[in-house]
Amino acid sequence: MHMVTDEHGNVIHGHHDHDGHGHTHTHEHAHEHSHGEGDAVEETRALVGYMADHNKHHAMELAELAGKLKELGKNEAAELLEKSVAEFDKGNRYLEAALAVLPGKKL
């Protein structure tokens, strides 16, 4: 993901694109920036929550592709995609655990 910064070096969060998997989709998210520790934690919570949701979307897409590959008789590739879905799920459990131990709004 390409990071864009403002004139002060602050990261500007807006959108990013995913290409190379048959289609492009853009995800928008926005939040205010400040320099307090509590605000930094809330910003991090928001980004981690966004990433977990984003990963869930990709895992669903990969599961659908695995199903299509099975229908085409491409079982080895389908099994590998299914394993990737399991890894997305595992990663999301870690993201959710991190959110659970951070102070702030709970999911």
Structure pTM? Answer: 0.60
Nearest to 61 by CA among 18, 13, 31, 29: 18
Return all residues near 72 (Cβ < 8 A) that are at least 6 apart.
none
Are 58 and 88 in contact, with CB atoms under 8 Å apart?
yes
Per-residue pLDDT of the chain (107 residues; tens, 9 = 90+): 444 444 545 555 544 455 555 544 555 555 555 556 678 899 999 999 999 999 999 999 999 999 999 999 999 999 999 999 999 999 999 999 999 998 876 65
